[in-house]
Structure 1
Amino acid sequence: MSYEQIDLAAPLDATAASSADVYARVTRRLLPLLMMCYIVAYIDRLNVGFAKLQMQADLGLSDAMYGFGAGIFFIGYVMTEVPANLLLQKFGARKTLTRIMVLWGLMSMGTAFAQTPGQFYVMRFFLGVFEAGFFPGIVVYCTRWFPDAWRGRFLGKFLTAIPIAGIVNGPLSGWIMSRFHGQWGFNGWQWLFVLEGLPSVMLGLFIYFRLDESPEEARWLSAAQKARIRQDLLLEAGTQGGKRERHATSFMAAIRDIKVYALALALFCFSCGSNLIGFWMPTIIRGIGVTDVFHVGLLTAVSYGVTCAAIIANGHHSDRKLERRWHCAIPAFIGAVSLVAMVYLQGHMLLSFCLLSVAAAGSIGIFPAYWSIPPAYLRGAAAAGGVALINSLGQLAGFVSPFVLGLIRTKTGSLTLANWLVAAVMILGGLTILLFVKPAALRQGEAAR
């Protein structure tokens, strides 16, 4: 059942279960499975950063060619993001997420058999096509279970999947590439794609039988608990007393809304920072003097551990204060300053690694607060299409930043200029949020609490 299908004329039941108990139960049921799906998705997206350490020589890739191949993933992603998310409204979350996960897992495994740069580009492009719709689909799916006041904390916990994926991916990728290199005639980077793509296929099949489309289908919720969710969604819609808050409720309305494009610009800027971390962290760590691929993986895990703590802390504090703008801007500014400071501390391994970890925490710690903002503006069909549109435009950074950074490294031999460029872009993202997102627009979540 979608948001629009809730019976707005249904009477409110004063005996319904408490919101805290209900949403704790929903979280315990949905969060582990959805987090696991996003963890393996992010591993499949970012393991190319580790594969590069061996694959680059085998395929004859320059840094610019690698950056283009890493980034072309997002061209396929952006081209199909909006239609993929609109199809979720038609076919439901269970079928959509199953299709996405099975196909991207198979494509990730297929990347192991690329033998030329062109084949690598094709594999990465279609990996983006098949993953399109996953994350914005989760955001829309959450609107069927959580009102604004509870959605932020759920998404905050869900987004810890990003650093957890980094924690797991580092040691796991380093171990696979070291342990399996040469087995059955395959190189370590080929085993990496095969062994890390398989869990996506298996989880995709599992989710088809496990995921409920809406509270009304959930046998593990009592009638009173379902009533509480229905009541909270009704209250959020502003229907009591016959008054409805003004929000974009159609996809066309979302397309015409300047705030959608401001949010997309901010996401583009923030994603430039997170993509620098995601695609280039192993290269940066090797560049500060760590040569063993397994040790590179361990240090990557440490950095993502710091990021995980930052996401949890920033998301929790944002919910507690019911403030989103500065919880996006301040981490962006901190990340930018850390990237610039790394330029002046080259040669200092420990300090450089600490600054890299702070930059990662700032760049990625933004997202729980950020993704609490779009649902405050968008309702109904606008939520499905608008969130996908914001994510599509913002994720163009996924193509632009790896390609530009790879080109910079090919031309200059370092990422110094890239650090300055990404720092400036992240500051622009923070300023965009502060200028275009008004506190009054986010007060509905406070009232719903």
Structure 2
Amino acid sequence: MKSHTTTTTNFGADGSRLTAAAGSFETRTYAKVARRLIPFLMLCYLGAYLDRVNVGFAKLQMLNDLKWSETVYGLGAGIFFLGYFLFEVPSNLILHKYGARRWLARIMLTWAVISACFAFVSTPTMFYVMRFLLGAAEAGFAPGVILYITYWFPSKRRAKMMSVFFMAIPLANIVGGPLSGWILQSFSGAHGFQGWQWLFMLEAIPSLLLGVAILLYLDDSIAAAKWLTPEEKKLLQDYIAEDNTGKVSHASVGSFLSDRRVWLLAAIYFCVVMGQYGITFWLPTIVKNSGVSNVALVGVLSAIPYLCALIALPFIGISSDHTKARRLHCAIPMVMAALALFLLPTTSGVGTALALLSLAAIGSIASSSQFWALPTAFLGGMTAAAGIAAINCIANLAGFVSPSVVGWLNDFTGKQSAGLIFTSSALLVGAALVLLLPAKTVNR
């Protein structure tokens, strides 16, 4: 099979031996595509993720101001994913049929407006309705971008690109933590609004601007990219065509739903998401409970675990592409995150808490990025569009289950350790399920 180095042992999409010059052209072409697309997509996902999880920081003031319980917050945080679940598959199918540019722009513009409107919620019912609408508005964005990446990069280059793209998650928290803490503290009471209200309004602005930018910047396909030469387009199209050879493309919805691998993948990603949001929605609270009372300092310290994840992600992606051990690169980070969360209740002090949270953040985000190298290795065409969306929307029900159950457990027991143990157990189950996937199917 082809290699992607500049030596004379390279092979092209048709199996022919490449010269050093041809190998160099291939490397330069993919580097050009990566530079053009990945940073911009990361920026868009950063905006999406910031609007999705800033409720974790708003919680530090919101619950006290509105006299809400942890259970109300947990249920509201989770209801986002019910809207996400219902609209995700249709959203991805629309994107695949009509193009990424306009559909991704529509998603970003609608969720920006809804996110800003959170500043005006005053009752639990309003909070629940707005979280549901935010989930419905954002449905399809993350799987849409994942699908879009498969239009440009073949399987053996995809893990690295997914890792780089998913660096937007720690980046959102690195930027969002200090920014959110600063807004909460500095804007509280300004012009009659509380800090948490300013948080929702101000952090919606980047998504609004990026929604417009998508219309001007993205191309729907390789063929539509005016910034590529005809030779570069041919190389990219040949590799994608070769990569799609032999992939599963189900003839009907029934055959798709009867594919046990799809359901196994959904179960695995459900556990991944349980861990990811078990950390995301409660990390500021864990940092605060470790002995930090200043909300601005909570924001700064909450960025540290995600900074560690940001550094680790590209190395994990490079290792996955080099070894092709896709299963292990997904399962091992899940085990690491599970152990870190399990140990958190047994420790004391800010330093130890941040060290364990850093391991948990690295593990949960790395397993999320590496997971998407598994289904895209064997799903193609419309099945890939439906499969990615279906797996993501089913699994993201964990985004409802995780904060809801953790919030209830914390209220019921009076301790945050119950929620951490619950999240840790889910990650261990997911890691075990990964090993049930046939290695020859996904290790590509």
Q: Distance in 1 between matches of 2:295 and 2:98?
A: 43
Structure 2: gaps of 5 or more residues:
1-12
Corresponding letter in the other structure for 2:392: N
Deviations 1:124-155 (A, max 9, x none): 11000000000111111112111111122111
Which amino acid in 1 is paired with 2:229? S
What is the CA-CA distance between 1:60 and the residue it aligns to? 2.1
Partner of 1:162: 169
Do the aligned partners of 1:12 and 1:231 also contact (CA within 8 Å) in 2? no
Paired residue for 1:6? none
- Does the alignment pair 1:307 with 2:309? yes
Mapped pair 1:57 → 2:57? no
Mapped to 2, the partners of 1:234 and 1:191 lie a distance apart of 48
2:360: which partner in 1? 359
Q: 2:299 aligns with which of 297, 300, 305?
A: 297
The equivalent position to 2:44 in structure 1, one of 22, 33, 37, is 37
**How far apart are 1:256 and its partner, in Å?**
1.8
Instruction: Return closer, same or farther for 1:179/1:250 CA change in 2, 3 Å cut-off.
Output: farther
Shift of 1:17: 7.5
Maintained 8 Å contact 1:251/1:386: no
Conserved 8 A contact 1:81-1:389: yes
Equivalenced residues, count? 427
Structure 1 letter corresponding to 2:182: W
User: Which has the larger displacement, 419-428 or 94-103?
Assistant: 419-428
Contact kept, 8 Å, 2:119 with 2:201, in 1: the verdict is: yes
Equivalent positions of 1:293-372 (< 5 A) are 293-345=295-347, 347-372=348-373
The answer to whether the 8 A contact 2:330-2:370 is kept is: yes
- Once the two structures are superposed, the pairs formed by residues 45-444 of structure 1 within 5 Å of their partners are 45-238=52-245, 245-250=246-251, 252=253, 253-345=255-347, 347-435=348-436, 437-443=437-443
Contact 1:311 1:366 in 2 (8 A): no
TM-score normalised to the size of structure 2? 0.93
Q: Is the 8 A contact 1:17 1:228 kept in 2?
A: no
Counterpart Cα distance in 2 of 1:320 and 1:16: 17
Distance in structure 1 (CA, Å) of the matches to 2:232 and 2:74: 49
Change (3 A) 1:379 1:228: same
Q: Distance in 1 between matches of 2:146 and 2:350?
A: 39
Question: Does the CA-based 8 Å contact 1:250-1:379 persist in structure 2?
Answer: no
Matched-pair identity in % = 43
* 1: CA distance, partners of 2:242 / 2:90: 30
Deviation at 1:246, TM superposition (A): 4.8
* Larger RCO (CA under 8 A, 6+ residues apart): 1
Quick one: which amino acid aligns to residue 275 of structure 1? Y
Alpha-carbon distance change, 18 to 235 in structure 1, aligned in 2, over 3 angstroms: farther
Quote how far apart the aligned CAs of 1:421 are: 1.3
Q: Note the alpha carbon deviations across 1:2-56, whole angstroms, 9 max, x for none.
A: xxxxxxxx99998798321111100000011111000010000010000000111
**Within 1, Cα distance between the matches of 2:186 and 2:244?**
55
Match of 2:223, SS?
Answer: helix
Aligned CA distance change for structure 1 residues 246 and 208 (closer, same or farther; 3 Å)? closer
Q: 1:16 to 1:364 in 2, by over 3 A?
A: closer
The structural deviation recorded for 1:413 is 1.7
Q: 1:90 Cα deviation (Å)?
A: 2.3
Amino acid at match of 2:36: R
SS of alignment partner, residue 248 of structure 2: coil
> What TM-score does the superposition give when structure 1 sets the normalisation length?
0.92
Q: What secondary structure, in the 3-state scheme, does the structure 1 residue paired with 2:363 have?
A: helix
CA contact (8 A) 1:72 1:121 kept: yes
Q: Distance in 1 between matches of 2:376 and 2:137?
A: 24
Paired residue for 2:7? none
SS of the residue corresponding to residue 331 of structure 1 reads helix
- Residue pair 1:19, 1:228 contacting (<8 A) in 2 also: yes
With over 3 angstroms needed to count, the CA separation of the structure-2 counterparts of 1:376 and 1:222, relative to structure 1, is same
Q: Distance in 1 between matches of 2:273 and 2:392?
A: 10
